[in-house]
A and B are shown apart, each in its own frame.
Chain A
Amino acid sequence: MAHISASVYTSHVPAIGAALDLGKTAEPYWQPVFKGYEYSKQWLQDNPPDVVFLVYNDHATAFSLDIIPTFAIGTAAQFQPADEGWGPRPVPLVHGHPELASHIAHSVIQQDFDLTIVNKMDVDHGLTVPLSLMCGQPQAWPCPVIPFAVNVVQYPVPSGRRCFELGRAIRNAINTFDQDLNVQIWGTGGMSHQLQGPRAGLINKDFDNAFLDHLVNDPEAAVNIPHIDYVREAGSEGIELVMWLIARGAMEDVAKRAPGVAQPQLNLRHRFYHVPASNTAVGHMILENPGR
């Protein structure tokens, strides 16, 4: 059977992709950002997944205002890196996993989450920047990736609670797939940032670090944060953090179990925080499920 071995959380700032693509990683401005991912790149090589389930948001790339799905799962065999207006990033084609993606879609819809199934879409920096941060600049990405796009562009976006419960449903779905696949789930976006208006540039280190603390030790506290708190405390685009809760909800320690059955402990492998990358606070964490 397939299983989730670990969850990875990271910001997906477009300027990080540009810094990599333009060879600026050694510049003093960018060096501390990439240093924070050195451990993670080695960790990924040491713990190679068969598939990455990557939760991100589309930034008016594949989805215009014609169609705005709240949750969209990519079931295609491949996904082209998008031209977001600067020309496409020079990164490898993203290969999907149509069998597992279709299985997850079927199972999760039966668990009352109405996913939109997408057989054709380009993927933007929301998906490719996390891959670049974790994999560097390979000729091909190390494994298939299932894109899972969440609407965080047009308000109201899904609540933290709904995202967390969706994560639980995704775990159930993966655990019932017949092939023996090692799956990682990645939650991306955030942390505090605001890209618009006279309030652009807002950063809230206290909020971000409390969020990271909660994510490790008390995910329920993060789940209960209402939208308006993200907007006031972490900026209008900080609301992307609800996507991290999908990945967190898929972890073993929060699975619904019979009363009296002990919950396993997760292993915190890495935690990193840095301000700024362009307009944004960069947060990153790796949480592993206990070994099987």
Chain B
Amino acid sequence: MALDKPYLDVPGTTIFDAEQSRRGYWLNQFCMSLMKADNRERFKANERAYLNEWDMTEEQKDAVIARDLNWCIRTGGNIYFLAKIGATDGKSFQQMAGSMTGMTEEEYRNMMVAGGRSANGNRVVGEDGDAQAHRQPQGRAGQNAKA
């Protein structure tokens, strides 16, 4: 019988459930290894070589090297694990979260100071809020990357 997954129609959101966790096991375990200072140094010295020590898919390795957190999440990554990559890079949680929206750091920070992103239009796929697929990327960073 199919599992109950009522969260699949939330826009711009991937719920880390057992299926995602299975897919992302080695990606996330690689991230855990970055909690040790020695491993952070080895990773920074040669990212590809360090990633090759892990039983990750080539796509997962590419996603990590690209620092594309949305891509990492699609391949089974979870943000609390992926945060160890950001920490290794000296990034804050706000910089990491903002990087997934296409906004520049300043644009994202300003949105938060102004009260954050509204839930209106962003509850269900098919509405017209700023997190919906047809409105990506949201900011200058993403638009420049696209151009």
Contacts and interface: CB of A to CB of B under 8 A. Distances in A.
A15 B12 CA distance: 24
A155 B98 contact: no
A275 B7 contact: no
Contact of B13 (A82, A83, A154, A199): A199
B64 interface: no
Interface residues of A, number: 46
A207 interface: yes
Contacts, number: 165
Nearest to A59: B80
A187 to B, nearest CB: 19
A12 to B, nearest CB: 12
B37 to A, nearest CB: 7
A198 B14 CA distance: 10
A28 B4 CA distance: 45
Given A198-B101, A232-B124, A204 B14 contact: no
Contact of B84 (A66, A85, A194, A276): A85
A202 B35 contact: no
B28 A64 contact: yes
A49 B60 CA distance: 48
Interface in A150-174: 153-156
B92 interface: yes
B81 A60 contact: yes
Contacts of B37: 83, 87
Interface residues of B, number: 61
B97 interface: yes
Contact of B87 (A85, A192, A202): A85
B84 A84 contact: yes
Contact of A202 (B29, B86, B116, B137): B116
A228 B7 contact: yes
Contacts of B49: none
Contacts of A279: 93-94, 97, 112
A275 B113 CA distance: 7
B35 A61 contact: yes
A67 to B, nearest CB: 12
B69 interface: yes
A197 interface: yes
A83 B131 CA distance: 33
Contacts of B97: 194-196, 200-201, 279
A155 B24 CA distance: 14
A200 B25 contact: no
Contact of B78 (A60, A156, A233): A60
Given A84-B87, A200-B101, A195 B93 contact: yes
A231 B17 contact: no
27 contacts: A60-B78, A60-B81, A60-B84, A66-B29, A85-B34, A85-B86, A85-B87, A87-B37, A155-B15, A155-B17, A155-B18, A194-B97, A196-B14, A197-B13, A198-B12, A199-B10, A199-B11, A200-B108, A200-B117, A201-B116, A202-B116, A202-B118, A205-B115, A232-B123, A236-B15, A278-B94, A279-B93
Interface of B: 6-7, 10-18, 21, 24-25, 28-29, 31-32, 34-37, 40, 69-70, 73, 78-81, 83-84, 86-88, 92-94, 96-98, 100-102, 108, 111-113, 115-119, 122-124, 131, 133, 136-138
